[in-house]
Structure 1
């Protein structure tokens, strides 16, 4: 790093050439991250962070005058450089903190954009001031004497990776605090007339001082562990500067117990996944607890090593989430060095919007590759777990394996047709194909396989209903043909187009209900409705869903009648069209079921168009029968839809 006027941070230890051996690419594609590969990934990510800091210094130098009470960025970088001379590993820990990447991207965008703050966004000087907080944390870690001015917010002063001080600032008049440390264990944070003395060992609590919460992978295990980050303003890349949500001591203990149990499970039964998680993950951002089958988790390309995770219910739940998010982080890091998808010269499919069974929205090739890699890990996890568990838990694990192995197979077939993959991207996808090739031949008990096949059909039909739009002109022609007595054989099923602007939505509720049914031993518990995740569901539609999934003699026919009643009253209800298709298939009515499960958006559009003409709605089952006669209904006629 450089003195203040140079404005160009550098680091001889990490700014170097990096390479990815072909063996690393193929190991990672197969779900293995060796220790040498992990070291290479970490080194490349550190270099990327240093280049970000250099870009920030250059951008600030080119766009001065943003004002504020703190010095320019180079002053912070100079302190980081001096701390690095004393203790390189201390600075590496600070700059490797995942929120640093989130902050750098945001600040760089603001410095280059030149616009003022958006609603709810902090002033530019405060965002730039995070660099001073990083420098202060590095000085503390390295034992370097320093006096640093850092931003404060609502009386809270964040020292990333070290902890945070909470000072009495009821008036809210003070925006800048000062950290003073003599490098020998004495440190103080002051904010106006208030002060907090830090303990000689900053990892210990003290009045007004809250050390960073570190979790260990195993009891009594030495090492840096995993940060449970409940304080950093950039910990949640989805919403920078989230409100404080400190984790209570009891909840922190619960996270630790779950991590110990999940790490033990992975080490015992999934050694490759366990090794990858330990090499990659260094930060967990706690999210609020979620219903059992709607775990929330996320990763971000510039927050390597971090995973946002809702409070897990048990070790199995936590373990599979760690597998999933570790794979996202690994692929993010790999893509920083090797282009796997070429958007510039990828041909006509490079920007296609594609079907991914695990998403409610269309995905570009890069997103599909990412999801396929993550869910290959998920499927492999359940592939092993199903043989280790017993009773309803084993039934559920068999189900999860069957769903995700077929979902991955769908995605990999789609990727095989994508010209947008680079040669290295294709080689990576081929590695996943090799890993999963034998899975289709593995037996799954009928009691888990049948609902898994229904799940896959439901996912696709519901996705089509929400994300595909039938051609309006063709819909009008078909409506006229049907009203004039046409049989449908003389027409052709028209293509639909993918909506690129569909609103975000939660996963289909029937997916949650299937899992609840399996977990409860094949019977819906009396409190099923109370345990649902809060997704809005009309009572009559929910009753139809429960009737369909409960099974038993006559249940399919009753479900058909209930879905028909829902659609007669509200023909726009997308979930009911897919549900009706599933109920018809269960009742042996495969012809109308084909139309509803393959082209629900077309059947729905015909129903709505008919009602708009004469105010009457055709019987949904009769309309599905008629639509099924259209030639080419199940052919590849959907514009932009791949993998269907």
Structure 2
């Protein structure tokens, strides 16, 4: 039965400031369950409208699965709630609804429609097993693998690849078997126990001793990764699972000891972790999806601190996803003078719409709050790094909040939510940060913004051409006019700027680059000359800044299109005390780069990058007037 839901104003206020109670979490979860029920209803209606009948594909219609779910719910409502609350169900429902309505383009690796619809039968079979309901269910198999979401998966050996139909039979009293052609696999009486050919789901605990909700370590569901649906199972070993459990215990202990608000929130909203491969220390990978409420994709953490801050970040995304399904915070249909503008977010390499900026701001408010406390609990280089992280994300959140306050698309409730975030962040501005961490944090923020501008903005070609005419004609920069810039429509997605990783490695290594620094950068494309310039810059001090200027200058003389080198040159000049050309490069790097490329395209020699930056710095308004729709530093 569907239920009417409402969000108390107190819940909105609590969520905005990161203080989420159990009743608030319960209300969000209940609304998500109703949303899932509506999805199932929409799927049944879409299948009926499409005219699907029992003759299309080897499996019965969706209605058969839904009827079995209803019978299981009558026997054990909690069993069905657990199955339908499984985060991949939302990923599957959205995909299948798009296919049934003809709104999703098929992909080459896409399974046949009957198999994708067959996930409903797998859900029904899992619910019957969990509820102790006698049933005989036809369900999809692939390459001998049969998935029973939230229960486990069966592997029948010597079965050829391809899409097949298996049968689950259960008597409701503990006897169950999976049959695929001539192959039969008897499931253990307790399906949570492993057996030959049977892999139960892995359920982790938040704490070693205290009872409470567990978290599913999902290594099998085909819809566990919303970015790449239909993934085959990739079961972890027991040793790998133990590693995840140890990290989760450590992270939960850390949160409970030092971050009580986050310690309450994370278990309330995260019930599934999708393990991703380990990443280098400062390239942690994690992601969430609005229709996979309660789930987070997370790369294997390095330690408790790394895992804890990632859980804080992803739990905030999950909370806001749930809230946004009930309250409209951004009017995406509104059309104001700047409503279609894509915006700068310091934590992203691509421009973001207002809704995306709001989401990221909420997540990084939690991250900044985490580091605000953590920096006082750590010592040595770890404390220096934590001070740096706090300073970066504190100021990044402040930048984003100022941008959001200026957005016409926020609804009244959205503005109230932003005000709540601003109240939480307001005291942070007065917090002291040691100079050794504050200076690189300020450089990081300048680097992030300038790099974003360099990649995502393009100056007006006609205005750039006129500037080049004046410059080649010997006119001083004072006679030029600052060209407007627009967002590029062809800017590709890219990895974060490598200097940001190097900056953290430098702090973590107590001010030096250890011999294995370069080894940690495997998989990152960077010329040795540019990397050498970056390292000179990050070592700090006047002599190193001067060396960095020379090295960036040499890189750009040979390859004037190298975006990171233009920004690096700006940072090196700022560190050397040359404020004017540094401001030109850090405020409008896309303009200086475009001028260099235009001169070279005309057959002129490649201009001296430093001389060009000094000339551009004298253009009226270049360093004081904003480019179109670009935030200030």
Q: TM-score range by the shorter chain?
A: over 0.9
Question: Which residue matches 2:47?
Answer: 60
Question: Is 1:26 equivalent to 2:9 in the alignment?
Answer: no
In the superposition, relative to structure 1, how do residues 37 and 441 fare at CA in structure 2: closer, same or farther (>3 Å)?
A: same
List per-residue Cα deviations over 1:146-179 (Å, max 9, x = no partner): 0001100111100000000000143236601111
Distance 1:127 1:475 in 2: 52
Question: Which residue matches 2:271?
Answer: 282
Distance 1:530 1:575 in 2: 21
Distance 2:580 2:432 in 1: 29
Question: Is 1:119 equivalent to 2:119 in the alignment?
Answer: no
Cα distance, 1:552 vs structure 2: 3.7
Question: Which residue matches 1:216?
Answer: 205
| Equivalent pair of 1:392/1:521 in contact (CA under 8 Å) | yes
Question: Which residue matches 2:86?
Answer: 97
Unmatched segments (≥5 aa) in structure 1: 1-11
Question: Which residue matches 2:396?
Answer: 407
Question: Is 1:548 equivalent to 2:537 in the alignment?
Answer: yes
Question: Which residue matches 1:361?
Answer: 350
| Equivalent pair of 2:144/2:160 in contact (CA under 8 Å) | no
Cα distance, 1:224 vs structure 2: 4.0
**TM-score normalized by the length of structure 1:** 0.96
Question: Is 1:133 equivalent to 2:122 in the alignment?
Answer: yes
Distance 1:348 1:174 in 2: 51
Question: Is 1:581 equivalent to 2:581 in the alignment?
Answer: no
Distance 2:278 2:536 in 1: 29
Further displaced range: 132-141 or 59-68: 59-68
List per-residue Cα deviations over 1:492-515 (Å, max 9, x = no partner): 211100124421110000000010
Structure 1 vs Structure 2 CA RMSD: 1.2
Cα distance, 1:244 vs structure 2: 2.9
Unmatched segments (≥5 aa) in structure 2: none
Question: Which residue matches 1:593?
Answer: 582
List per-residue Cα deviations over 1:228-260 (Å, max 9, x = no partner): 000000000001012432211111000000000
* Aligned partner (choices 508, 528, 547) of residue 558 of structure 1: 547
List per-residue Cα deviations over 1:214-237 (Å, max 9, x = no partner): 000000333440000000000000
Question: Is 1:179 equivalent to 2:171 in the alignment?
Answer: no
In the superposition, relative to structure 1, how do residues 58 and 615 fare at CA in structure 2: closer, same or farther (>3 Å)?
A: same
Distance 2:165 2:76 in 1: 27
Cα distance, 1:454 vs structure 2: 0.5
In the superposition, relative to structure 1, how do residues 32 and 634 fare at CA in structure 2: closer, same or farther (>3 Å)?
A: same
Distance 2:156 2:143 in 1: 9
Pairing of 1:5-404 with structure 2 (within 5 A) = 12=1, 15-65=2-52, 67-113=56-102, 117-172=106-161, 175-404=164-393
Question: Which residue matches 2:443?
Answer: 454
1:152 counterpart SS class: strand
Distance 2:373 2:626 in 1: 38
Cα distance, 1:643 vs structure 2: 5.5
| Equivalent pair of 2:115/2:163 in contact (CA under 8 Å) | no
| Equivalent pair of 1:411/1:643 in contact (CA under 8 Å) | no
| Equivalent pair of 1:362/1:500 in contact (CA under 8 Å) | no
List per-residue Cα deviations over 1:284-342 (Å, max 9, x = no partner): 00001100000000000000000000000000000000000000000011011000001
Question: Is 1:571 equivalent to 2:560 in the alignment?
Answer: yes
